[in-house]
Structure 1
């Protein structure tokens, strides 16, 4: 299956006064798995609809494989689409459902049957060809919807919350299946989800959207470990977000004092150049927090243990900071058999390595 690059230039969509998508530009290389991630109303589905030709932009352009397709209908864009709703024909066998797009393209019966069988092999369901949709589970029906999309070999596949109707275990199985198929076919996939873990697991890059525009675009690790804004730090995974002030800067490494003189630490500047006196938000992931019994006068962040939660593989500690103006703190570590080493009410001290903390410039520009 060939794949094509996708270029979006200044694409925008408004509904009256509401800006569904501010002017947005994006380049997706051929063969990439790009996820559009964000909360409801962030613009991700609007962007996908404009790429698909299901809506017309107010301005901007869409190019696929170098060709301008901005105002072409969906069927002239060489795209495949997979939705949360499987949209299988209930009166047709699975084999006929998959072959239907080929029939619409005037492909001969023998070739259509061969390609439908090939698509069923690809999704590992060759034995269900003669069954009807009602005889399959939700996970199997979603695989058939994927096979129906793959059978006519589109150069770009668009997926809009395709796993939203599945339970957690089935979702994880389908995530692996989609990743495997992407590796085998090297086709370009644009995938929409609001599930952060799904985006982290599956993507080559994540395009995180907020309020109709791109908040940050990059590899999953870039967004997770080096967020450029507080929104990105807060949206993607669990984090401690601590107001602080820069006291000294040596290159990207900053000395900081936490709000309320709660303690001193170090962090790495993310994106902007920061100097002494800058107001920042410091992000530290729970798994990067080191917890010890509090030492008087150590100059480290201190808190009182409020709750302990064992989630299975992880044990999470929730602490109320002693200093005013700080949020509840959370630390996490792999669950051990002796996980009761800390007790509710214990006074603890939190620390971290500079490389594990990110200082994000205050949005007000201090």
Structure 2
């Protein structure tokens, strides 16, 4: 197991009566890519600024490589910082921008030139060394900001929504670039974003935050397939959440009843769910299988299934989404989404059509209310 690079214990921050960060514990391993994800006001930027030393906590401690830096200055923390606005010096060339942190650290001229060249090669931009920031595209400026951060080889790089100012195509490209650089360097990265897809794509682990606390910490797959709360299930990706009652419990599976009818089983990773417990059943849209044709009574009462009426169809490029209103056994009016790769079969569906939706018990997750 990798050594711990960053340890946060009981860290908290208040602004008057507002709790920006409740007491928080967090360990980040050497070389890990950890993303702080959450809605506005969730505490992710507050946590990052405390780690960076841009503000001081009301309680708790921060250790980097075993050294207590809780109240140390930013330059004492062995960290690098990449911002959304790049923060490049407009009057300096690219090479001068990258060399600046080395000069502040009194690195000799020959070593500075060598490391600037290495950093430019790392971001695939050796040909722009003599240009000024205004002569670069947004994506190139962001890569130069990365190179300036990496050139002095900090043990931790903090990134605060670094791709927020870029268009989608360039964001996608830069995500791959940052992943490549992280893989090549092996540096620990703590990354802040509100973009779920970005977090899922780039992270080794995601720290999903809400109302100043950690809602769930785990791999992208943990949060997506095994959410521990309704908030996590609802925030990360699209999901259908159905009201249910637990009827039985067996290891990691529970029997579920929806609308008074037995609806098969669902996975349960929460030990508190017992027979009689109220629960929400999460089913991702792509895990709902759509069947058309006449629905007889014997079919309607099949486990892991429901009847719904199609209210709208949306083709979003590679995916087609069906928007439906549940008929049975879910309470009438409950909205459900089904999704599948776009193909000609999608043309068989018409608004107003009654459909049967089926799912696998392994794709349904029971979450305590």
* Cα distance in 1 for residues equivalent to 2:347 and 2:261: 26
Pick the aligned partner of 2:363 from 343, 353, 356.
356
Consecutive unaligned residues in structure 2, runs of 5 or more:
none
Q: How far does residue 292 in structure 1 lie from its aligned partner after superposition?
A: 1.0
CA contact (8 A) 2:122 2:181 kept: yes
CA contact (8 A) 1:4 1:31 kept: no
* Cα distance in 1 for residues equivalent to 2:71 and 2:105: 21
Pick the aligned partner of 2:318 from 313, 316, 320.
313
* Cα distance in 1 for residues equivalent to 2:153 and 2:14: 33
1:80 partner SS: strand
TM-score by length of 1: 0.96
Q: In the alignment, is residue 131 of structure 1 matched against residue 136 of structure 2?
A: no
Query: How many residues were matched structurally?
Result: 360
Q: In the alignment, is residue 267 of structure 1 matched against residue 266 of structure 2?
A: yes
Equivalent in the alignment of 1:227: 227
CA contact (8 A) 2:157 2:188 kept: yes
Q: In the alignment, is residue 345 of structure 1 matched against residue 352 of structure 2?
A: yes
Pick the aligned partner of 2:306 from 301, 310, 331.
301
* Cα distance in 2 for residues equivalent to 1:277 and 1:271: 14
1:134 partner SS: helix
Q: How far does residue 134 in structure 1 lie from its aligned partner after superposition?
A: 0.5
Q: How far does residue 262 in structure 1 lie from its aligned partner after superposition?
A: 6.8
* Cα distance in 2 for residues equivalent to 1:4 and 1:246: 40
Equivalent in the alignment of 2:39: 39
Give CA-to-partner distance per residue, 1:286-339, whole Å, 9 cap, x none: 011111125232223111001111111111111011243663100111111332
CA contact (8 A) 1:119 1:150 kept: yes
Consecutive unaligned residues in structure 1, runs of 5 or more:
none
Q: How far does residue 98 in structure 1 lie from its aligned partner after superposition?
A: 0.6
Q: How far does residue 29 in structure 1 lie from its aligned partner after superposition?
A: 0.8
* Cα distance in 2 for residues equivalent to 1:189 and 1:217: 16
Give CA-to-partner distance per residue, 1:273-292, whole Å, 9 cap, x none: 42221100000000111111
Give CA-to-partner distance per residue, 1:121-179, whole Å, 9 cap, x none: 00000100001100100010000000000000000000000000000010010000000
Show the 5 A alignment for 1:193-212. Answer: 193-212=193-212
* Cα distance in 1 for residues equivalent to 2:4 and 2:95: 28
Show the 5 A alignment for 1:62-141. Answer: 62-141=62-141
Pick the aligned partner of 2:336 from 310, 323, 329.
329
* Cα distance in 2 for residues equivalent to 1:233 and 1:324: 20
Equivalent in the alignment of 2:162: 162
2:346 partner SS: coil
CA contact (8 A) 1:242 1:326 kept: no
1:303 partner SS: strand
* Cα distance in 2 for residues equivalent to 1:280 and 1:172: 37
Further displaced range: 347-356 or 285-294: 285-294
1:200 partner SS: helix
2:110 partner SS: helix
Q: How far does residue 249 in structure 1 lie from its aligned partner after superposition?
A: 2.0
CA contact (8 A) 1:56 1:71 kept: yes
1:70 partner SS: coil
List structure 1 segments (4+ residues) > 6 angstroms apart after TM superposition. Answer: none
Q: How far does residue 39 in structure 1 lie from its aligned partner after superposition?
A: 0.3
1:320 partner SS: strand
CA contact (8 A) 1:272 1:361 kept: no
Q: How far does residue 271 in structure 1 lie from its aligned partner after superposition?
A: 2.2
* Cα distance in 2 for residues equivalent to 1:153 and 1:202: 21
* Cα distance in 2 for residues equivalent to 1:54 and 1:226: 34
1:340 partner SS: helix
2:14 partner SS: strand
CA contact (8 A) 1:53 1:70 kept: yes
Q: How far does residue 270 in structure 1 lie from its aligned partner after superposition?
A: 2.5
